[in-house]
Amino acid sequence: MTYTTTVSTPSAPATQPTQTTAAPTLEMRLQAALEHARRLTEMRGTADIEVAIAWETVEELQVARARKREKTLTTFAQYCIDYPEAPECRLYED
């Protein structure tokens, strides 16, 4: 799914509109896929193969979002990676 935004400025002469492509975030793609799957379900019902594919896409995007959240390090964790000898980062075992 590709998103493009067309922007035209009022002070510009009558020329072709300027096109900019903004990369959609994972959250934006998930919301768009969810809306698409809901609309397809309303239009075609649950027995249609395209509806099943749309919902599978939603599930895959949700898994990707969950994995991305898992990979995100806290500031403290990053600090401990950068400075493992810092007293705050020492691990003590019982």
Does residue 63 lie in a domain region? Answer: yes
pTM for this structure?
0.54
Amino acid 19: pLDDT: 60
Domain with 28 in it: 24-89
The candidate with the shortest Cα–Cα distance to 28, out of 5, 52, 53, 51, is 5
Does residue 49 lie in a domain region? Answer: yes
Does residue 4 lie in a domain region? Answer: no
Does residue 77 lie in a domain region? Answer: yes
Per-residue pLDDT at 14 exceeds 70: no
Residues 6+ apart with CB under 8 A from 37: 51, 54, 55, 57, 58
Residue of higher predicted confidence among 23 and 55: 55
Which of these ranges, 10-14, 50-54, 77-81, has the smallest mean pLDDT?
Answer: 10-14
Total domains in the chain come to 1
Residues 6+ apart with CB under 8 A from 34: 58
Amino acid 56: pLDDT: 96
Does residue 69 lie in a domain region? Answer: yes
pLDDT tens for residues 42-77? 999 989 999 999 999 999 999 998 888 877 778 888
